[in-house]
C-alpha cells in the first residue's frame, strides 16, 4: 500500500516550503516509482493564496482528507495567524496521532509546537526566528539544518525543505535511492560565499525579533561561513 504524504496549505504560507520537498518527492514517485501518494490539504479545498503571489490548489479540506502516513507543515508569514486557528491546530493534533512521521519546514515548527507535539523535543527552525524559538522553554534548540527526534523532523528555513526531503528518502528507501533522486534533480549547489557573517546585520528586522540578526545565526550557518 502506498504511503500517503500530506502537505498542509494555508494563506501566506511560504511557497518553497511546500514546492521544494514536493518536487523532490515527485521525482522519486514519477521516475523511480516510489510507493507514495502526495496530497495538498487545507481548511477549505480550492485555491489557496500563498506568499509571493503564488496560488496552489488544495485537493482536500480537513474533513475530507485521507488518513496520512506523513504530515508536512510549512512555515511562512501566515503561520502566526494560523497558530490561533483552532481548526488548523486541531487538524494537526488529530492527524499526527496516527502518522508515522510528522515534518515541519522552516517556521512550520511553531504550528507543531502550538499543537503540543514538540514538548521536550530537539528542534530547529528558520534562523531569523531563533530568538522566538529560544523563548520556548519546553523545547531543546539544536542549531542544525535538520533535526530528528523520533518520528518528528524539523528543518531550517526555506531551502532546507529540499535537503530534508532527500534525507527523508534516505530514511525510507536508503542512501542509493536518495542519491538517484539527487542526481535526477541535479541538486549539487555550488559553494560561493555571497554573504559573510556581517551580512546578517544588514538585513531588515524579522517579525517579533529583538537584537541584531547576527546574534541568532545558528551553528550550521556560522560553520558554513568560516
Strands 122-123, 146-149: pairing kind:
unpaired
**73 bridge partner residues:** 104
Predicted confidence at residue 64, as pLDDT, reads: 96
Share of the chain above pLDDT 90, in %: 77
Could you give the CA distance from residue 133 to residue 126 in angstroms, rounded to a whole number?
Answer: 9
Q: Per-residue pLDDT tens for 108-121?
A: 999 999 999 999 89
Residue 71 has pLDDT above 90, yes or no: yes
Q: How many CB atoms lie within 10 A of CB 121?
A: 19
Predicted confidence at residue 201, as pLDDT, reads: 82
Across 31-56, average pLDDT: 98
Across 164-182, average pLDDT: 98
131 band by pLDDT with thresholds 50, 70 and 90: confident
Predicted confidence at residue 138, as pLDDT, reads: 87
CA distances from 72 to 4, 33, 163, 205, 224 (A): 11, 21, 14, 28, 27
CB 55 within 8 A of CB 47: yes
Most confident of 111-115, 131-135, 209-213: 111-115
192 band by pLDDT with thresholds 50, 70 and 90: confident
34 band by pLDDT with thresholds 50, 70 and 90: very high
Across 195-199, average pLDDT: 85
Residue 159 has pLDDT above 90, yes or no: yes
Predicted confidence at residue 200, as pLDDT, reads: 83
Closest alpha carbon to 6 in 103, 90, 72: 72
> Which has more confidence, 191 or 47?
47
For 3-192, CATH number out of 3.20.20.140, 2.60.40.4070, 3.40.50.880, 3.30.70.20 equals: 3.40.50.880
Residue 5 has pLDDT above 60, yes or no: yes
209 band by pLDDT with thresholds 50, 70 and 90: low
Q: Per-residue pLDDT tens for 79-96?
A: 999 999 999 999 999 999
Could you give the CA distance from residue 133 to residue 136 in angstroms, rounded to a whole number?
Answer: 6
Query: Strand, helix or coil at 92?
Result: helix
Q: Per-residue pLDDT tens for 14-23?
A: 999 999 999 9
Predicted confidence at residue 212, as pLDDT, reads: 60
Phi/psi-derived region of residue 120, left when phi > 0, alpha when psi is between -120 and 50, beta in every other case: left
Is the pTM higher than 0.75?
A: yes
Amino acid at each position: 500500500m502506498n504511503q500517503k504524504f500530506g502537505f498542509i496549505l494555508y494563506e501566506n504560507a511560504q511557497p518553497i516550503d511546500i514546492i521544494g520537498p514536493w518536487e523532490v518527492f515527485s521525482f522519486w514517485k514519477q521516475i523511480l516509482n516510489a510507493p507514495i501518494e502526495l496530497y495538498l490539504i487545507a481548511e477549505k479545498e480550492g485555491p489557496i493564496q500563498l506568499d509571493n503571489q503564488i496560488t496552489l490548489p488544495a485537493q482536500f479540506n480537513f474533513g475530507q482528507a485521507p488518513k496520512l502516513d506523513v504530515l508536512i507543515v510549512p512555515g511562512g508569514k501566515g503561520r502566526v495567524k494560523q497558530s490561533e486557528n483552532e481548526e488548523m491546530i486541531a487538524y494537526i493534533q488529530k492527524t499526527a496521532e496516527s502518522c508515522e512521521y510528522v515534518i515541519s519546514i522552516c517556521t512550520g515548527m511553531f504550528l507543531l509546537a502550538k499543537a503540543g507535539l514538540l514538548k521536550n523535543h530537539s528542534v530547529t527552525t528558520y534562523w531569523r526566528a531563533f530568538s522566538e524559538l529560544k523563548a520556548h522553554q519546553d523545547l531543546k534548540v539544536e542549531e542544525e539544518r535538520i533535526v530528528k527526534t523520533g518520528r518528528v523532523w524539523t528543518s531550517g528555513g526555506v531551502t532546507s525543505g529540499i535537503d530534508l526531503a532527500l534525507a527523508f528518502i534516505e530514511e525510507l528507501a536508503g542512501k542509493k535511492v536518495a542519491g538517484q533522486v539527487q542526481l535526477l534533480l541535479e541538486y549539487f549547489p555550488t559553494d560561493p560565499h555571497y554573504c559573510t557573517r556581517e551580512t546578517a546585520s544588514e538585513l531588515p528586522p524579522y517579525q517579533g525579533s529583538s537584537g541584531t540578526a547576527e546574534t541568532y545565526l545558528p551553528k550550521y550557518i556560522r560553520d558554513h561561513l568560516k
